[in-house]
Structure 1
């Protein structure tokens, strides 16, 4: 009987340890909602300035996000379900080197082994700005 009690205690401890980790897993939409919280969508743009060399953030199955100051630009792509943050974006720009445009070619490579994993087709970038700022 004591052995059963020990097993039950161990199982309860594992459950308590595992619960917070699973509770922290958020969907892509939830992560995006947190990033744009308190902001209002502006007029979609076909190109954005990326001269500050800030990284693009890939949100699994949801969007590509670029931050510039107080503005968060969101590109949901034509097939957001193919977005995977384990992939690295490889961008071939056709215009100015400091702008990212919807017509630029974006392919993906596996972060760990470098194999080609697909293409991303950008759509317009929607700027989200804090209310009351220009």
Structure 2
């Protein structure tokens, strides 16, 4: 193997190691967002994560921060923490757009997009993780 080829293999290996060891975006929740999430989940118990939930209207969705989206269905609130967050969703000027292909469900792995409500211009993307149901306990 030539010296140049050895150098390329070494650089590729170093890049691979660096990409695996670099810390993922840290989830940081403001005290206000933490309080809002606690209030929304008060009196509820976490259940086993599910892969999919029914499609929801915007009025059934609550944005806590760029890391946390809640979907409400009766006595259950589903907590969604998109992989890597959903940059810009909590700004108040963006909305979440989900394109459903052949289904009426939101699922883990779905790619969703943010769109500026005033200009209609697309922003970032986010990938849904599993949904954690929190169910109201008691009467």
Quick check: 1:45–1:126 contact (8 Å CA) kept in 2? yes
Counterpart of 1:69 in structure 2 is 74
Runs (5+) with no aligned partner, structure 1: 1-24
Counterpart of 1:96 in structure 2 is 103
**Other structure's SS at 2:37 match:** helix
Runs of 4+ residues deviating >6 angstroms:
none
Change (3 A) 1:124 1:109: same
Q: Distance in 1 between matches of 2:120 and 2:99?
A: 17
Q: Which one of the candidate residues 116, 122, 134 is aligned to 2:122? A: 116
Q: Which one of the candidate residues 48, 52, 66 is aligned to 1:47? A: 52
Quick check: 2:70–2:78 contact (8 Å CA) kept in 1? yes
Change (3 A) 1:50 1:81: closer
Q: Distance in 1 between matches of 2:82 and 2:56?
A: 21
TM-score (norm 1): 0.69
Q: Distance in 2 between matches of 1:29 and 1:81?
A: 17
Change (3 A) 1:37 1:123: same
Bigger Rg over Cα: 1
Q: How far apart are residue 57 of structure 1 and its match?
A: 1.9
